[in-house]
A and B are shown apart, each in its own frame.
Chain A
Amino acid sequence: MEAHAMEHGHGAPKGITRWLTTTNHKDIGTMYLWFAGAMFLFAGLMAMGIRAELFQPGMQIMSPEFFNQLTTLHGLIMVFGAIMPAMAGFANWQIPLMIGAPDMAFPRMNNWSFWILPAAAILLVLSMFVPGGAVATGWTLYPPLYIQGGISYDLTIFAVHILGASSIMASLNIITTILNMRAPGMTMMKMPLFVWTWLITAFLLIAVMPVLAGAVTMLLTDRNFGTHFFDAAGGGDPVLFQHVFWFFGHPEVYILILPAFGLVSTVIPTFARKPLFGYSSMVYATASIAILSFLVWAHHMFTVGMPTAGQLYFMYATMLIAVPTGVKVFNWVATMWKGSLTFETPMLFAIGFVSMFTIGGFTGLVLAMAPIDIQMQDTYYVVAHFHYVLVSGALFAIYAGVYYWLPKWTGHMYNETLGKWHFWLSMISFNVLFFPQHFLGMAGMPRRIPDYALQFTEFNQISSIGGFMFGASQILMLIVIVQAIRGGKKAEAKVWEGAQGLEWTVASPPPYHTFETAPEVK
């Protein structure tokens, strides 16, 4: 058996064949991350289009239909094409390195999980060029509007189907790897927190991606095959879709943020030179958030009409999530407390995450309150809220992780000066971009509308200027990555003084195969 493993151990195919056929977790992780980066820039360009149109009241540069297509695709691609694949890229690169496994449990299925993504991206991009244009319902795909669209609507349904298949296979792989491939001595409660957060995220994905598949399948049959799930004339109800969608959708937002929690929980102890404060409470808090995420979905639907008892239940259940989330934020702060702090770029992004994500969490609490939400529903306040948790939350954590492990992956130190510029420009422009949107929302500006009343002009202009700055700043990231790949100061095995964990015991960059014989964990 040993001989056989050796036989395959060497001589990976060269060129494009290597990437098409690879069964190596590092190659697959790299592909996930590049794909996520490309989709991030693509959907980011769409956001630039949205902000350009909103720079002034009145219709400027695009038709309202196209504006709605941009908001829809921006959302769908950022969620399914950028953030989720980036997190999967970290999982692929890091989980085997962190738990001392030779690879992911099912390397071929791992490759398939990745290669489904470009197929789904082709479907979504193609949908922009078919008659009638892309889906214009917003990423939530609500009927009855969704029932009325053209062929692009069916392409999008199929894209969601195969994205779901990809996520489920990736999650089966991650769960199995974590439960079955840990090095001897690596008990569950010794696992790095990033591994824990991905274990719980994979569980969430397996639980809810099939529900989304069911929801869009009902859309498909209502559109094309005469069913009446969402049609009152046939005894159905459009609100049914919202229930099924948000039963997926709320756990989905934790799917986006839990791995980010894991990344930040990895970065902060390194640069505070202290172990993570309250490790076990972090694990339990993550699990609590995951469980609660199944019980709160209708807080996205306070305005559709529900009994007061229902509103009260969903309001209180939602606010309960603030407890485990608060545990996490306090633990991060306590980890930094009296630490020997240094502020390299990963740490800056991690601290940016903790402060900005907390603002997003607080606005989430505001929106959880049913009486306030009825005012705020579908306003820019909601847009501001979820961009604080997704951009300065998930995305900043991804940046922290990329800067943190870039020297490990490439074998070269990145340009710290450019990295710091990237952080400060992103941090400032992000707040210029999204903070005014709270005011716009409170003043009543609706989301997903290409035109607005005159009194919203100033805040929209500030927001758009911040948006263009933010967009331009991200080019720095690309420059830093390309520079680090092409050369630079050699990185040592243990890149950061305070870094802990198995991934720092192998060379930078690590050999193609690592831990073929498992390390012993004390």
Chain B
Amino acid sequence: MSAQSHGGYYLPAPSYWPVLGSSALLGLTIGGALFIHHVAGGGWILLLGFALLVWMLFGWFGQVIGESEKGLFNKQVDVGFRWSMSWFIFSEVMFFSAFFGALYYVRMLSVPDLAAGDNALLWPGYTGGWPTGGPGAKSAFESMSAWGIPAWNTLILLTSGVTVTWAHWGLKKGNRGQLIAGLFATVALGLTFLSLQAYEYHHAYTELGLTLGSGVYGSTFFMLTGFHGFHVTLGTIMLIVITGRSLAGHFKPESHFAFEAVSWYWHFVDVVWLGLFIFVYWL
């Protein structure tokens, strides 16, 4: 935790990207609310907000990558990126913990309480248990088994953690071939995971009768796996970006923070998945 500031800390010039980002968020939120309520034009505002966001992300990250390649970031800037990325991942952990907390709460407290004797008048005959659609469930569903696609997906994500580390070793040894091969393998594994996840959702909706509306089981199942899948999607996009950068000759064996940030993020989605596999699919 050394604090060294002898000048040369890169201070960026004024930038339009932040206000563009705020406009994008305004479009996404207003458009989203209108779209949900079927107000005409809502979808277009939503789309405009999304387009602005994509433009902002491309432009802003593009500019930062350019600055990095020009060597404007000294060691102190690099350390700052590391602190910030670590705390950002911590904030993501806390986001998931809200939904894990909801899962534990419904399994340990609300469902058993609803099935307890003092609710017999309100919900006669409800026995609780897990999975459950709740005492007012209108249609039956089957839960998702852990030992099919989810087990394969666990293997896929764990393997992708190995391949991204192998790519990192390649980068540090100056072996660009190993770096690029490792990244391609990781991206391929990420896409495979996402495809299997999409197939699983299709299977749930069409054959198991398991939907977002299937009581708390469906709610927690789809929210947890859905947000995880969304994070894997982001991670895969990030991996594709650093693969492209590696092909373009970016990153040096001694300085490649962007690569490390993406791999930290990738390990984070991996760890979240292990939690999902145990608590959502298995137990």
Q: CB within 8 Å of B: which residues of A?
A: 1-2, 4-5, 8-9, 12-13, 17-18, 20-23, 100-103, 105-109, 111-112, 115-116, 118-119, 122-123, 126, 150-151, 154-155, 158-159, 161-162, 165, 168, 171-173, 175-176, 179-184, 186, 188, 206-211, 213-215, 217-218, 221, 224-229, 231-237, 239-240, 243-244, 247, 513, 515-518
Contact = CB atoms under 8 A, between A and B. Distances in A.
Contacts of B33: 151, 154-155, 158
Contacts of B111: 235
B97 A211 contact: yes
Contact of B72 (A4, A214, A518): A4
Interface stretch (B73-81, B173-181, B201-209, B237-245): B73-81
Given A119-B23, A243-B105, 12 more contacts: A5-B7, A8-B12, A112-B22, A116-B21, A119-B26, A155-B29, A155-B30, A181-B3, A228-B219, A234-B219, A235-B133, A244-B102
B19 A213 contact: no
Interface string B88-100: 1011101111110
Contact of A237 (B16, B79, B105): B105
B32 interface: yes
A186 B3 contact: yes
B90 A207 contact: yes
B74 A1 contact: yes
Contact of B15 (A12, A108, A179, A236): A108
B14 A122 contact: no
Contact of B212 (A1, A207, A226, A516): A226
Nearest to B56: A112
Given A175-B83, A213-B95, A123 B14 contact: no
Contact of A102 (B11, B28, B29, B136): B11
Between B15, B39, B135, the greatest number of chain A beta carbons within 10 A of the residue's beta carbon is seen for B15
B134 A240 contact: no
A121 B28 CA distance: 15
B280 to A, nearest CB: 15
Nearest to A210: B95
A18 to B, nearest CB: 7
A162 B30 CA distance: 12
Contacts of B95: 210-211, 213-214
Interface string B49-89: 00000000000100000000001101010011001100110
18 contacts: A1-B71, A108-B12, A115-B21, A126-B30, A150-B37, A161-B29, A171-B87, A179-B1, A180-B79, A181-B3, A181-B76, A206-B90, A227-B222, A229-B219, A231-B134, A234-B216, A236-B215, A518-B4
Contact of B19 (A1, A21, A150, A162): A21
Nearest to A235: B134
B216 A20 contact: no
B193 interface: no
A151 B3 contact: no
Contacts, number: 264
Given A108-B18, A119-B22, A227-B212, A183 B105 contact: no
Interface of B: 1, 3-19, 21-23, 25-26, 28-30, 32-34, 36-37, 39, 60, 71-72, 74, 76, 79-80, 83-84, 87-88, 90-92, 94-99, 101-102, 105-106, 109-111, 113-114, 132-137, 211-213, 215-220, 222-223
A111 B94 contact: no
Contacts of B110: 232, 235-237, 239-240
A517 B105 CA distance: 53
Contacts of A18: 14
* 6 A-B pairs with the lowest CB-CB distances in the bound complex, closest first: A214-B98, A233-B136, A235-B134, A112-B18, A518-B5, A226-B213
A213 B98 CA distance: 9
B87 A206 contact: yes
Given A119-B25, A243-B101, A2 B7 contact: yes
B106 A236 contact: yes
Contact of B84 (A21, A172, A235, A516): A172
Contacts of A176: 80, 83-84, 87
B25 A162 contact: yes
A158 B32 contact: yes
Given A5-B11, A172-B87, A116 B3 contact: no
A23 B15 contact: yes
Nearest to A213: B95
Nearest to A153: B33
* Residue from B87, B222, B223 whose CB has the most chain A CB atoms within 10 Å: B87
Contact of B76 (A100, A111, A180, A206): A180
Q: Which of B6, B13, B134, B222 has most A Cβ within 10 Å?
A: B13
Contacts of A516: 7
Given A5-B11, A227-B212, A229-B216, A237 B94 contact: no
A234 B110 CA distance: 10
Contacts of B5: 100-102, 181-184, 515, 517-518
A67 B99 CA distance: 33
A5 to B, nearest CB: 6
Contact of A235 (B37, B80, B90, B217): B217
B14 A235 contact: no
A23 B14 contact: yes
A158 B31 CA distance: 11
A180 B83 contact: yes
B94 to A, nearest CB: 4
B136 A234 contact: yes
Contact of A154 (B11, B22, B36, B134): B36
